[in-house]
Amino acid sequence: MMLIAGTIPSKDIPLTIGSVAADGDFLTVNRQRLPRIQGTGAMISAALKITEYFELAPPQALIVGDIGNGRGSREMYRYLINNLVKLSPQYLVLHYCMPYIDLMQELCQAIDKCSPRPVTIADAGAMYGAKAAGLSADFDIMTPDFSEIAFLADSLATHPAYISHHLFNCDLADIPKLIKAAHENRSDARLLLVKGKTDYIAAGGEILEIINEPDVPVLETIGGTGDTITGLLAALVYAGVKPLEAAVIAAKANRMAGKIAQPTPATQVSHIIDAFPSVFKEYLCRWSDICTG
């Protein structure tokens, strides 16, 4: 079972856990509707496309509204801390939430009590919390963007807003240096997928793969396209693809969906997500032996 946990920017969504299903321009989790056009919703929607394609059980999702006051995030952390061993997910994906260091420490303790220990993937606020708590190295995969890898590279910062000035002024050519610095600080996971104009996949501070084709610059202007990469990567690992290969496929598929969708800056990420099945049908078996494996 893959469990995706994250907050939704709404004051009206109570803590809800259950199987994910598509519902037009929305998703449902245990009859609770949520939009798929941003953040955690976009990530879950991308993951659902993979599970549908391979006819796998859909993701389980734990969602809750949080409009920035942290109430929903704390509720989500507490639920996971108290119930994770019983839920026993094989794959745990942590996404948007407030980066509370004490709660992240407790959550990682709960993860360690699971038998077997789940594959852990962190993005967004969960990644911030793991880094601030000094627990990045406990995670299997992290998916930072350019500003977030600068945060991971800063040994002193506890939040991206506090990145050292010299790191904040880095340019894209410095990403390999930032990846190495993050590893030296023990602020990286076992595998990194750094998302951006060029996608870098790294482990142990070393670049393993670089993906920059097809080049669809407008994707950088559409909110949620980084979240979709994380959703694709997580669901591919859930489908049995090795993490490095899953990261490569996720980066390529996201770009190819952008090319097929021919978006403008006004395009919503759901339009990109809807192109994923065409990408899978045309390219997935070329990129991986999962179709016959």
pLDDT digits (tens, 9 = 90+) for 62-109: 999 999 999 999 999 999 999 999 999 999 999 999 999 999 999 999
| Tens digits of residue pLDDT in 186-206 | 999 999 999 999 999 999 999
Pairing of β 91-94 and β 191-194: unpaired
Check whether 162 has a pLDDT greater than 70.
no
In a domain, 293, yes or no: no
Q: How many CA atoms lie within 13 A of 74 on its CB side?
A: 5
What's the CATH number where 64 sits? 3.40.1190.20
In a domain, 120, yes or no: yes
pTM assigned to the model: 0.94
In a domain, 292, yes or no: no
Q: State the average pLDDT over residues 260-282.
A: 94
Q: What Å distances lie between residue 143 and 120, 200, 231, 243, 261, CA to CA?
A: 12, 10, 10, 12, 23
In a domain, 93, yes or no: yes
Range of the domain at 183: 2-287
In a domain, 270, yes or no: yes
Sort 260 into a burial class: Cβ within 10 Å, 0-12 / 13-18 / 19+.
middle
In a domain, 252, yes or no: yes
Rounded Cα distance, 261 and 264, in Å: 9
Confidence of residue 293 (pLDDT cuts 50, 70, 90): very low
In a domain, 140, yes or no: yes
In a domain, 269, yes or no: yes
Rounded Cα distance, 94 and 62, in Å: 10
Domain count, the chain: 1
Interhelix angle 175-184/146-153, nearest 10 degrees: 40
